[in-house]
Amino acid sequence: MKSIKVKRILAAVLAASMVMASAVTVSASGSDTTEPGVSSSESSSSSSESSDSSSESSNVTVTYAQTMSKAADAAMSVAGTSVRTSVAGVYAAQKVQGVAVVTPLAAVRTSLGLAGNQTPAIIIYDTDESKSYRAMECVNAAAGAIGGTVVATMNIDLGAKESGKWVALSSGTVGLVTGLPKGADTSKEYCAICVQPGGVITILEDQDLNPATVTFEVQAGLGTYAITAK
């Protein structure tokens, strides 16, 4: 993985305890399946309409996540090209032109150290200052350090499922291809800025030659990833 640790980050930002928009575990009605919920404008607006009932708002969130779910080997449109994603999950990012896991499934299982009936799973959704304030402080500081401009930001949780339940992971990576947002300047170079809990910041260089996409490695666990023009 090509990565450069950012050194010139505001000390106050890194010293602060990073508060990320952690995915909240919600249970589907009548099922023992649990997984992090998706934070999105669609689910937020739906939840506000039923704010008088916490159970109702949880069910709305789960329903939205289910509608954005994709099975392993599903065809994804990434910058106008069909790409099959190797990992099942919730693909709810709307500000980019598609995302897909490009690492073969067998290699994903090996990288994540999965065993038995564990299967890899991923949850991807848009985020911003209102949802991940501390993470975005780190993103903006890192972008400034490299003279970059952030064009889209996603929260990504890479884990696994076992017997229908979410399993949090802390080691391993997968390759993810992301289509640039509509209207992005394809003449510029792009990278991804990764912010992990605790304020660990890494610059992930683009691993493909397509000017309309960015391919980078996603770390196991929860992280904020900002697509950045340099």
Per-residue model confidence as pLDDT tens for the chain (230 residues): 444 444 444 333 333 333 333 333 222 223 333 444 444 344 333 333 333 333 333 344 556 788 899 999 999 999 999 999 999 999 999 999 999 999 999 999 999 999 999 999 999 999 999 888 889 999 999 999 999 999 999 999 999 999 999 999 999 999 999 999 999 999 999 999 999 988 899 999 999 999 999 999 999 999 999 999 99
In angstroms, rounded to a whole number, what is the distance separating the alpha carbons of residues 31 and 52?
Answer: 23
Instruction: Report whether 95 contacts 128 (CB < 8 A).
Output: no
Amino acid identity of residue 28, one-letter, is: A
| Of 22, 24, 60, 21, nearest in space to 42 by CA | 60
pTM to 2 decimal places: 0.77
| Of 162, 118, 163, 143, nearest in space to 225 by CA | 143
Q: Which residues form the domain of 118?
A: 3-229
Count of domains in the chain? 1
Amino acid identity of residue 23, one-letter, is: A
In angstroms, rounded to a whole number, what is the distance separating the alpha carbons of residues 72 and 152?
Answer: 25
- The pLDDT, as a whole number, for residue 62 is 58
In angstroms, rounded to a whole number, what is the distance separating the alpha carbons of residues 49 and 28?
Answer: 19
- The pLDDT, as a whole number, for residue 23 is 35
122-152 in b/e form (b: 16+ CB < 10 A) is bbbbbbbeebbebbbbbbbbbbebeebebbb
SS3 66: helix
